[in-house]
Structure 1
Amino acid sequence: MKKYFALDYYELKETKNGVHILFYNKFKMKEILKDEKNSTFLKRFGYAPNNTIQENLEILRGRYKIVCPHEIGIFLGYPISDVIDFIKCPNKKCLTKGYWKVYNDLENAELLFESYDRVKIKIMDSIINNPNKVIVGLNSL
């Protein structure tokens, strides 16, 4: 069977209404978590810089059981400056809203929004047109 997407997944929470799943590319996630600014930021929430992706996701799941933690933005690839402003400056006016509230670098955020939209459409089209061939937990998005 052909591999379509470079996605792994991790179940964060199951409720009576559904399951919250984080889909991610393990190569991109490794880059995100090894980034010095991100790892320093995450350290204050109990994530260790030398943790594996799995260990960090277990910490995230533990925190997610209580409430959706703001640091999830780092795991989702949001710019750290926007995550920090969202946490520290709740009354700050954002420049726009999309996948996250954008406080800095509007141009880059809009490019990322467009990229996320393209990927979302690509995945949805593949699921609709090839439902028996879509495999999650692979490598190449």
Structure 2
Amino acid sequence: MCNDIFSMRGDKITSYVVFILANSCMPTLLKIKPATLVNFQKKYIENTNHFFIVLNKESEQFQCSYEILYEDNRAYFIILYQTKLLRDVLNRFCENDILIRSGYLPGGDNFNKNLINLKKRFQNFKNGNSVEFPHEVGIFLGYPILDVEEFIKNNGENYILCGYWKVYHKAEEAGKTFDQFRKLREDAVKLYFSGRDLKEITSTL
């Protein structure tokens, strides 16, 4: 599979970045979902500077930004997001107990501070400084707030459906969303292997 991925573009890093974005991030690129968590494996990144040049170029085509939440010797853990959509989500739920007790601040002026807080909490978990995973990331990713709340209350158990997230309410509606995301992913990957770039892929979907 990796050789097939790398044969699709002029250089391996471009091939890798485009494939990962097509495979994992279509709902965010298409502004259906505010953000996506994605990791890029360093073993496929021969030149770090070139990697970030390509990632910036491909992301900016879709008005997306990203933040490196964590980096180790194997991978970059990145949140790719649509700024307006993510800002709207955080403003909508700024008074939610999950965000308040986790140190997030209300107001659009605190958007960058809240991203930094998520990064800090993610790093604390990854580095073993906290036993608590920052489950509020589900809010950033656009998961239904009731499902995020119930996931935390139930320690990830007792869900009624599991797909892109664990569902506790409105399983039928969530199932339709899962089907939509799954089809976007499958179609995007097929188009990638037909030689399309990201702009061509998104315009075709």
TM range (shorter): 0.7 to 0.9
Could you give the per-residue CA deviations for residues 88-109 of structure 1, whole angstroms, max 9, x where no partner exists? 1227511111111101111221
Paired residue for 2:95, among 40, 44, 52?
40
CA positional deviation for 1:114: 2.5
| Stretch deviating more after TM superposition (103-112 or 2-11) | 2-11
Aligned residues of 2:156 and 2:166 also touching (Cα < 8 A)? no
Structure 2 unpaired stretches of 5+? 1-56, 126-132, 200-205
For residue 87 of structure 2, what is the amino acid of its counterpart? Answer: K
For residue 5 of structure 1, what is the amino acid of its counterpart? Answer: F
Could you give the per-residue CA deviations for residues 85-131 of structure 1, whole angstroms, max 9, x where no partner exists? 11112275111111111011112211222333344346545655345
Residues paired across the two proteins, number: 132
* 2:164 match: secondary structure: coil
Deviating beyond 4 angstroms after TM superposition, the runs of 4 or more aligned structure 1 residues are 1-4, 121-128
C-alpha spacing 1:91/1:65, structure 2 compared with 1 (3 Å): closer
Paired residue for 2:185, among 120, 124, 127?
120
| Stretch deviating more after TM superposition (25-34 or 115-124) | 115-124
Paired residue for 2:85, among 23, 28, 35?
28
Query: Under a length normalisation based on structure 1, what TM-score does the superposition of the two structures give?
Result: 0.78
Structure having the higher Rg: 2
Structure with the bigger RCO (C-alpha within 8 Å, sep 6+) is 1
Could you give the per-residue CA deviations for residues 2-28 of structure 1, whole angstroms, max 9, x where no partner exists? 975342211110011201001111121
Distance 2:81 2:183 in 1: 16
Larger helix proportion, structure 1 or 2? 2
Does residue 65 (structure 1) correspond to residue 130 (structure 2)? The answer is: no
Q: Which residue number corresponds to residue 173 of structure 2?
A: 108
Query: Under a length normalisation based on structure 2, what TM-score does the superposition of the two structures give?
Result: 0.56
Paired residue for 1:94, among 159, 179, 182?
159
Distance 1:64 1:87 in 2: 16
| Stretch deviating more after TM superposition (118-127 or 106-115) | 118-127
CA positional deviation for 1:30: 1.5
